[in-house]
Amino acid sequence: MTHITLSNSTKAQLGALSEPLAFFDETGTPLGTFTPVSRLTEQQRIAMTLPEDLLDSKVPVEELRRRLREEPRIPHAEVMEQLRQYL
């Protein structure tokens, strides 16, 4: 999954979204949608935090929780340090 970090001003423009938001380009062509986390199921929220190789759409929530507990994590600072090597 691709991640995009929003600036505080862009986040403020979006407001407190409670419904999905559609994105269009300047010609009116649909680009995609954004669904606020508050509108996701528990399984979808858990799945967002797991690497894609651990996901399967038929996996029950209990299994996703177990994978989330057991999957090794890398601290944010370490990830950023590794990324700086490529800049």
Rounded to 5°, the CA angle 71-42-73 comes to: 20
Chain segment 26-75, per-residue pLDDT in tens: 999 999 888 777 777 777 777 676 666 666 667 777 877 787 777 677 78
Within a domain: 19: yes
Q: What's the pTM?
A: 0.41
Residue 2: what residue type?
T
57 lies in which domain range?
8-84
pLDDT of amino acid 50:
65
Within a domain: 1: no
Within a domain: 52: yes
Within a domain: 31: yes
pLDDT of amino acid 51:
65
Name the phi and psi angles at 41, rounded to 5. Answer: -75, 165
Within a domain: 40: yes
Structural domains of the chain, count: 1
- Selection from 6, 5, 2, 24 nearest residue 15 by Cα: 6
- Whether pLDDT at 87 is above 70: yes
